[in-house]
């Protein structure tokens, strides 16, 4: 095995109270790909900063190969003092590094280099920081949430670039698909200590659950052993005093181990506050369009969203996802076309910028809007502290100012407030930002099992695959297309073609004027190959989905199923909803194609 370029051993760090890091270890050899995972607040970023030499531990050994180059990507890059993005990126190069590499990365990350750092959006700042740390091709890359604020196209490009890179990689990310793609080793930071799995992140969840189950069994065994020893001391036959004192000492030691055991971190409990059921039709849009100057972001888009649908909007930053979302929910009026909202709608919205939160406001005041100490959740009055615990906040944090929360805690707090509002339509714009894996899993279950309707914007491919019943994606020149299923289903329907940001943006004015001047194409006299293929194959696919629906319905019909496996029952219900929505979309697509065929044959 190659000697490590970086080795941290027995790292300890505390800020008072329970140690943040308590004997943590981390090592990386040339070419290794390591996913560093753990709950929000577990110390992942701190451990990465120790590896980068930015934070000194209170105890432990830190070794960095003297000749090794290390580059660290922070969550919040500091660009102060740089006149341009190019100056910022090239400042990360060493004397022997190739400046063309910086230009190459900026181009592929959608930057010219002439941008003013003060004017950058969150996504542009993240791309500039990535170009800076990747340009020198360092021996070790330390990346803290590299996919935050990036769109899908840049994330997929970054995956390919990191897979090709010869640098050793240690990465923190909440994007599971990204971690599965780039990692070959997983380090789990849990309760101050690290465990290492010599497999990629795809194997992490099963491994973690096995460890926690074994730990629970061992703790139970220790508790039973303590009970037996206490019984022996009280009622056992008196033996030699020396023996009694030895067993008494062992009992005290076991008690100390039992009391001192730090159990696994709590699990968030999420439930949306239900409103009365909406009408069957939730939103109907007909030929809606929206332009900003010469830029057309939505053109001739129509859709019908019904109760129970879970719609995902995807596309590059700037393609118009948020604009389309606002038009569908009635917040923004289209330039032309109509949007009709269904009856009895109660909408709860989590926007991309989150809500404006006063940093001086306490958590309890924020959750209750300053209206006392209680909230009403699903018709039941609950104390704010009890509700906070569902989202992994401690009772003593009720009077804590929002400014003291980490990014993940702040995300959980805002999510808690949104879900406390009665709703039958959830509108979620980038809901997964800053959430740890466990909280993300709970949010997935909530969205997948929500009785109402959900519209969400996300760049998280795994989250989309697990939650939505259809995807709306850009197809160039302001056109948007709806696909049945999740993100992977969309790619399959596009023939494996990924979203291309060049197609997602409308033509430049000069191109648009040339296109308008060109003679209009005659309407097609026959179905395209793609339409013909779909028309011929949809009946077979619909039959397969119908068979799947029948099988799922038979499972649910078993009266003992729920008692035997409640989680499995809920998953089966969610799968049945998804299959029914898929079948409905297929039937609608087949009907439209069949009508088009009849129209063309009759003309």
The DSSP code sequence of 255-310 is: HHHHHH--PPPP-------B-SPPPSEEEEEEEEEEEETTEEEEEEEEEEEETT-E
Buried b (16+ CB within 10 A) or exposed e, 48-69: bbbbbeeeebeebebebbeeee
Binding residues: 38-45, 315-322
- Residue 140's pLDDT is 96
d(CA 218, CA 226): 12
Q: Render pLDDT for 36-91 as a digit per residue (tens, 0 to 9).
A: 998 877 889 999 999 999 999 999 999 999 999 999 999 888 898 899 999 999 99
Residues of the chain with pLDDT under 70: 1, 16-17, 226, 228-276, 351-356, 407, 496-530, 599, 601-603
Q: Return the CATH number at 544.
A: 1.10.287.380
Whether residues 226 and 199 fall in one domain:
no
- Residue 346's pLDDT is 87
- Residue 235's pLDDT is 58
CA atoms within 13 A on the CB side of 379: 3
Domain count, the chain: 3
- Residue 501's pLDDT is 41
Q: Return the CATH number at 190.
A: 3.40.50.300
Does 292 fall in a domain? Answer: no
Whether residues 144 and 249 fall in one domain:
no
- Residue 356's pLDDT is 60
Does 305 fall in a domain? Answer: no
Tokens coding 114: 């002439």
CA atoms within 13 A on the CB side of 274: 12
Rounded (5°) CA angle 514-515-516: 90
Q: Render pLDDT for 273-319 as a digit per residue (tens, 0 to 9).
A: 666 677 888 999 999 999 988 889 999 999 999 998 999 999 887 78
Whether residues 231 and 148 fall in one domain:
no
Whether residues 92 and 134 fall in one domain:
yes
Whether residues 84 and 220 fall in one domain:
no
Residue with tokens 């200590």: 193
Does 181 fall in a domain? Answer: yes
- Residue 521's pLDDT is 40
Does 321 fall in a domain? Answer: no
Tokens coding 162: 């990191």
Binding residues for ATP: 38-45, 315-322
Whether residues 231 and 200 fall in one domain:
no
- Residue 505's pLDDT is 36
Containing structural domain, residue 151: 6-206
- Which among 366, 377, 412, 374 has a CA at the least distance from the CA of 267? 412
Whether residues 102 and 220 fall in one domain:
no
Whether residues 59 and 174 fall in one domain:
yes
| Cβ neighbourhood burial of 483 (10 Å; 0-12, 13-18, 19+) | buried
d(CA 393, CA 376): 18
Whether residues 221 and 89 fall in one domain:
no
- Residue 443's pLDDT is 82
Measured between alpha carbons, how far is residue 163 from residues 32, 160, 204, 336, 506 in Å? Answer: 11, 5, 19, 45, 32
């Amino acid at each position: 095995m190659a000697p490590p370029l970086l080795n941290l051993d027995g790292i300890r760090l505390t800020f008072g109270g329970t140690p943040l890091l308590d004997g943590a270890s981390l090592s990386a050899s040339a070419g290794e790909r390591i996913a560093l995972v753990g709950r929000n607040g577990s110390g992942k970023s701190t451990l990465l900063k120790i590896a980068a030499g930015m934070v000194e531990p209170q105890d432990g050994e830190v070794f960095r190969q003297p000749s090794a180059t290390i580059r660290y990507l922070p969550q919040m890059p500091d660009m102060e003092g740089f006149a341009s993005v190019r100056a910022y990126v090239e400042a990360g190069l060493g004397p022997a590094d190739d400046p063309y590499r910086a230009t190459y990365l900026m181009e592929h990350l959608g930057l010219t280099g002439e941008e003013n750092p003060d004017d950058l959006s969150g996504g542009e700042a993240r791309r500039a920081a990535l170009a800076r740390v990747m340009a020198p091709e360092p021996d070790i890359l330390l990346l803290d949430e590299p996919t935050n604020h990036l769109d899908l196209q840049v994330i997929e490009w970054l995956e390919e670039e990191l897979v090709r890179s010869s640098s050793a990689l240690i990465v923190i990310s909440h994007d599971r698909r990204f971690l599965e793609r780039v990692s070959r080793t997983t380090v789990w930071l849990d309760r101050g200590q690290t465990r290492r799995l010599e497999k990629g992140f795809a194997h992490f969840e099963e491994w973690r659950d096995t460890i926690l189950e074994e730990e629970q069994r061992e703790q139970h065994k220790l508790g039973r052993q303590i009970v037996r020893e206490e019984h022996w001391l009280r009622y056992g036959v008196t033996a030699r005093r020396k023996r009694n004192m030895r067993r008494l000492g062992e009992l005290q030691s076991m008690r100390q181990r039992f009391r001192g055991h730090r159990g696994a971190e709590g699990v968030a409990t999420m439930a949306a506050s239900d409103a009365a059921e909406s009408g069957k039709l939730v939103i109907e849009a007909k030929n809606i369009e929206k332009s900003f100057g010469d830029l057309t972001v939505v053109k001739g888009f129509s859709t019908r969203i019904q109760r129970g649908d879970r719609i995902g909007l995807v596309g590059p930053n700037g393609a118009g996802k948020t604009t389309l979302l606002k038009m569908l929910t009635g917040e923004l009026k289209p330039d032309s076309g109509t949007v009709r909202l269904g009856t009895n709608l109660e909408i709860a919205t989590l926007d991309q910028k989150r809500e404006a939160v006063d940093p001086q406001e306490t958590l309890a005041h924020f959750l209750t809007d300053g209206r006392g100490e209680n909230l009403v959740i699903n018709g039941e009055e609950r104390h704010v502290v009890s509700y906070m615990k569902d989202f992994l906040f401690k009772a003593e944090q009720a009077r804590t100012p929002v400014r003291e929360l980490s990014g993940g805690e702040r995300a959980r707090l805002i999510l808690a407030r949104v879900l406390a509002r009665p709703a039958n339509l959830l509108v979620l714009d980038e809901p997964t930002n800053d959430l740890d894996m466990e909280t993300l899993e709970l949010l997935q279950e909530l969205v997948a099992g929500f009785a109402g309707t959900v519209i969400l914007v996300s760049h998280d491919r795994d989250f989309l695959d697990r939650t939505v019943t259809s995807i709306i994606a850009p197809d160039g020149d302001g056109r948007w297309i709806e696909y049945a299923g999740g993100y992977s289903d969309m790619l399959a329907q596009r023939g494996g073609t990924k979203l291309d940001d060049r197609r997602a943006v409308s033509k430049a004015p000069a191109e648009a004027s040339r296109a308008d001047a060109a003679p209009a194409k005659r309407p097609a006299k026959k179905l395209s190959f793609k339409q013909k293929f779909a028309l011929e194959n949809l009946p077979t696919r619909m039959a397969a989905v119908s068979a799947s629906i029948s099988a799922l319905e038979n499972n649910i019909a078993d009266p003992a199923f729920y008692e035997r496996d409640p989680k499995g029952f809920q998953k089966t219900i969610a799968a049945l909803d998804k299959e029914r929505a898929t079948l409905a979309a297929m039937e609608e697509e087949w009907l439209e194609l069949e009508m088009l065929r009849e129209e063309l044959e009759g003309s």
